[in-house]
Amino acid sequence: MSNFKSLVSGVGNLSKTTKYYDDWSKNYDETLKLWNYQAPKKSIKFLKETLNIKPKNILDLACGTGLFGIELKKIYPKSNIYGSDISKKSLKISSDKKIYIKLKNKNFEELHYYNTKFDLISLIGSMTYCKNFKKLFANINKNIKKKGFVLFTHRVDLWKQQDFFNILKKHQKTFKITKISRPLNYLPLNKDFENKIKIKIVLLQKN
């Protein structure tokens, strides 16, 4: 992984993003540890503080190498955790960790087909790559239970550029905003992010 800068400015289209994460997969966990990646642990803390149910079936979209799945498994050891991602090589790494009961090689903007409906759908550290929010929310809507929860992080700089609150408001008939965190550190030991680029954590609930 030579071009860390592209993490800030964007990697490109779907095939470039796939290649980028395939190439990075072997060192991804190690690099993110060095950068003190905060999103998985902070999202779990936020979830524990906000949710008063234990989700039985969970779908972790853009699960990558499973860094959020590991945190989910710690607090919900009995839950069935499914995952999907576009990077086959990252999926191989998460599969070796034996957290997920099923993994799919899928774009989160395409409809996923499962025999079950989910109590919780997560998307951690990956909203950056969403090109079409309508398609993402359609996929989530198809697979979530009534009153189920959606947990995601989104970069504050992109949130402002995209007028993201307005996007959430447009989906409010289907997904009610339960809670939005204040801006939090994301990759504090990466020099391009430090305390310049922060994230918000969001919890939505299907009506």
Ligand X SMILES: C[S@@+](CC[C@H](N)C(=O)[O-])C[C@H]1O[C@@H](n2cnc3c(N)ncnc32)[C@H](O)[C@@H]1O
Q: By the criterion CB under 6 A, which residues form the site for ligand X?
A: 17, 21, 39-40, 62-64, 67-68, 85-87, 90, 107-109, 124-126, 129
Smallest distance from the beta carbon of 60 to ligand X, in angstroms? Answer: 7
Pinpoint the alpha helices (H) of 56-178.
Answer: 67-75, 88-96, 133-143, 156-161, 164-170
Smallest distance from the beta carbon of 75 to ligand X, in angstroms? Answer: 16
CB 180 within 8 A of CB 201: yes
Which C-beta is closer to ligand X: that of 4 or that of 176?
4
Burial (Cβ within 10 Å: 0-12, 13-18, ≥19) of residue 125: buried
Which C-beta is closer to ligand X: that of 129 or that of 164?
129
Which C-beta is closer to ligand X: that of 107 or that of 173?
107
Smallest distance from the beta carbon of 90 to ligand X, in angstroms? Answer: 5
Which C-beta is closer to ligand X: that of 12 or that of 207?
12
Long-range pairs for 77-82: beta carbons < 8 A, 24 or more residues apart: 78/54, 79/54, 79/55, 80/56, 80/116, 82/57, 82/58, 82/114, 82/118
Which C-beta is closer to ligand X: that of 176 or that of 188?
188
Smallest distance from the beta carbon of 25 to ligand X, in angstroms? Answer: 8
CB 186 within 8 A of CB 197: yes
Which residue's Cβ has the minimum distance to ligand X? 64
Type of residue numbered 2: S
Measure Cα distances from 9 to 14, 28, 162 in Å: 15, 18, 14
Smallest distance from the beta carbon of 202 to ligand X, in angstroms? Answer: 15
Smallest distance from the beta carbon of 155 to ligand X, in angstroms? Answer: 11
Which C-beta is closer to ligand X: that of 67 or that of 197?
67
